[in-house]
Amino acid sequence: MMNRAGREIFGISEQAGVRAHTWSSIGKASDAPKVDTAFESVRQGRSARFELTVRDVQNTERWMDVIAAPILNARGEPFRMLSIWRDITEAKRANEEVQEARYEAEAAAERLSAVLESTMDSVMLVDHFWKVRYLNENAKRLLRLREDAMGAALWQLFPREQRGLFAKKCRKAMKERSPASFEDYIASLDIWVEVNASPTEDGLSVFFRDITERRRAEEDRLLAQKQIAHMARHDMLTGLPNRLFFRERFDQALDRVLGKARIAVLCLDLDGFKVVNDTFGHPTGDALLRQVAARLSHVVSQTDTVARLGGDEFAIIRPLPEGAQAPSALAHRIVETLTEPFAIDNVTVVIGASVGIAFAPGDGTSAEELIKAADIALYRAKAAGRGTYRHFEPAMGAQLQAHQQMKLALRDALDRGELELYYQPLISIQSKKVSGCEALVRWRHPDRGMVSPDVFVPTAEETGLIVPIGEWVLKEACREAAGWPSDVSIAVNLSPVQFKSKRLVGVVAAALASSGIDPARLQLEITESVLLDESEHNLELLQELRSLGVKIAMDDFGTGYSSLGYLRSFPFDKIKVDRAFIRDLPSGKESLAVVKAVAGLGHSLGITTTVEGVETEDQLNAVNREGFDEAQGYLFAQPLPASEISKLITKELE
């Protein structure tokens, strides 16, 4: 039953778990409009449903789901109201938590999306069926995809890639649940990509970036390195391996077969090549060398190595396993092949060839020994009338054996104290006094006596012994010069081999420090060959030496084709004119012209000028008239030992 105000509820079933209450006593004030609306609907004979909050006996707020329905009388009019209450507090809270979790997930997704959009990488997410679920803007641009690509299968978008490395790595990452990092070329897009693929619960996340420019730069660099390496080991004119590559192959062949089989070395040069060069010019000579190289490449086998050592010199390495054809047959074919006429620019050229053959290990166990043995055999072939070949024989090796003995003896000469320094004075032409001395190394062999520098210095350079010998010369010369007057300099020659030693600058500095002499008194003499070999490196080395305070002189000036050019590339302190231009003075017109030019050049550049090999008064007068600063030669004194040079230094020459 309802009271007049319609605020009381009657007839509520206890079985429904609801007790009777007045609505005004349980609902919040904010729920009153909903209650009023529901009551009005019931009075009009309609059911109503709404939610409101109540407090239970523990004064805890709870949510209730309320259904209110009219009970009609016989006339069909509502005269009572039935209400059913259901506690939905837990469901309400669960729903709120779900909503909160959804909001948090959406916020996290938005943050993640912002991060993925801001990264420099391209990002793609695919599900377990390889359908694209996400692409950031970078990925869309790089892969050239639009928004309609979302949901499409990856391999339908890029069918050319489904059998390539990209697909293989990604499938493996998803299958094995392990990350994969790799680089691959995407042929569909003509790009290189760096890829990091990581499995997720939903599929695979793929981070990638375009590395096309980097890869192409690396490929260009590698190609350039290969080209440089090829150029360093191949002859630019003929394309054959050069001396460096030949030596490397030689060492490899020796390592493989030494003691097990033999190797043949064939050295050859062309008979009549100089005549062709002089008659038709260098372009024809170069074309001839190219054709010779082509013919040699055709007559050798695949296991042979043919190289151009320089000029018209060629060499061949032939491994000789058991049952191999004798190298004499190859030598015969070479002679026959190169005797046939060459057609070059409508010119027919006829030359020949001579061949020398040596064997490892019988004739030597190193590249140097075998090439020299083959060279000796080559010279014997030439002496036999050219156009033939000769094998090396032990009797031919007397010179080679002597050379070997020289190397062994020289190796111990420094330790045994057999090396001595002699000094040849440089005379100031104006004052007639000694302005300096050039240190010259001598070898006093216990059995051979005094060995000429022309004999042992080339051997020292070949073996590298010139480096410790040069260090000793520097130290000893500076020590001796420390006892001379302070206006007398000491000149020391540097070998091109010494410039390859990383210790050179330190050795010079140590010699100066241990002797205590003024660095300006030390003059280091170099030849043009130093600048020809790795010129840029050696110019830098000369600058480092100059920074120590020493003087740099160019020795044997005028004998090289680039002497004047080197004066421009490095500021030398002194130039020494080679004795070849002094020998026929004063009558030699050509030599006199060179002497005049050098003297004028020295004055204009502020460089001290010195002449070598002055032996007569007429020669001295000739260079004096041209204004040279110093002279050196037998007219003044021969090289003297240290015990005698001090006396000469203090003596004025008349």
Other Cβ atoms closer than 10 A to 188: 14
Q: What is the dihedral of CA 69, 74, 76, 82, to 10 degrees?
A: -10
Residue 491, judged by CB atoms within 10 A of its CB (0-12, 13-18, 19+), counts as buried
Q: Which amino acid is at 117?
A: E
Binning pLDDT at 50, 70 and 90, where does residue 6 land?
very low
Judge whether residue 441 has pLDDT over 90: yes
Judge whether residue 530 has pLDDT over 60: yes
Binning pLDDT at 50, 70 and 90, where does residue 407 land?
confident
Which range, of 30-34, 112-116, 151-155, 603-607, averages the lowest pLDDT? 112-116
Binning pLDDT at 50, 70 and 90, where does residue 563 land?
low
Binning pLDDT at 50, 70 and 90, where does residue 251 land?
confident
Which range, of 102-106, 210-214, 365-369, averages the lowest pLDDT? 102-106
Average pLDDT over residues 104-131: 73
| Short-list 493, 512, 488, CA closest to 436 | 488
Structure tokens at 235: 């002859």
Q: Where are the beta strands (DSSP E) in 278-413?
A: 305-310, 313-320, 342-344, 347-349, 352-360, 389-391
Structure tokens at 78: 């509502």
Percent of the chain whose pLDDT exceeds 70: 87
Fold type of domain 405-649: TIM Barrel (3.20.20)
| Short-list 126, 182, 184, 120, CA closest to 155 | 126
> How does pLDDT run across 33-76, given as a tens digit for each residue?
878 888 888 888 888 888 888 887 888 888 888 888 888 888 88
pLDDT at position 42: 84
**Phi–psi pair at 229, nearest 5 degrees:** -60, -40
Contact partners, residue 619, CB within 8 Å, separation at least 6: 582, 585, 586, 633, 635
Sign, CA dihedral 95-101-102-104, equals: positive
pLDDT at position 61: 86
Q: What is d(CA 160, CA 425) in angstroms, rounded to the nearest whole number?
A: 83
Most confident of 55-64, 102-111, 397-406, 546-555: 546-555
Going across the sheet that includes 305-310, the strands are 305-310, 313-320, 262-271, 352-360, 389-391
Model pTM score: 0.47
Instruction: Please state the domain extents for the chain.
Output: 14-87, 119-213, 234-392, 405-649
Average pLDDT over residues 579-584: 85
Q: What is d(CA 485, CA 499) in angstroms, rounded to the nearest whole number?
A: 30
Task: Give the architecture (CATH level 2) of 119-213.
Answer: 2-Layer Sandwich (3.30)
Q: Are 307 and 245 in contact (CB under 8 A)?
A: yes
Kind of pairing, strands 640-641 and 419-428? antiparallel
* Angle, helices 504-515/466-481, rounded to nearest 10 degrees: 30
Q: What is d(CA 82, CA 653) in angstroms, rounded to the nearest whole number?
A: 147
Most confident of 65-69, 81-85, 363-367, 467-471: 467-471
Q: What is d(CA 271, CA 388) in angstroms, rounded to the nearest whole number?
A: 10
Judge whether residue 338 has pLDDT over 60: yes
Superfamily of domain covering 14-87: PAS domain (3.30.450.20)
Average pLDDT over residues 288-303: 92
Residue 361: is the preceding peptide bond cis (ω within 30°)?
yes
Same fold, 119-213 and 234-392: no
pLDDT at position 440: 94
Average pLDDT over residues 121-149: 89
Alpha helices by DSSP H, 144-191 = 154-157, 165-176
Residue 560 is classified by DSSP as S
pLDDT at position 2: 37
- Helix/strand/coil for 424: strand
Percent of the chain whose pLDDT exceeds 90: 32
Judge whether residue 3 has pLDDT over 60: no
Residue 452 is classified by DSSP as P
135: region left, alpha or beta (phi > 0 left; psi from -120 to 50 alpha): beta
pLDDT at position 538: 77
Binning pLDDT at 50, 70 and 90, where does residue 113 land?
low
> How does pLDDT run across 482-521, given as a tens digit for each residue?
999 999 999 999 988 888 777 899 999 999 999 999 999 9
Q: What is d(CA 618, CA 437) in angstroms, rounded to the nearest whole number?
A: 23
Asked: is 234-392 a CATH 3.40.630.40 domain? The reply is no
Binning pLDDT at 50, 70 and 90, where does residue 531 land?
low
Structure tokens at 397: 């090796």
Kind of pairing, strands 574-577 and 262-271? unpaired
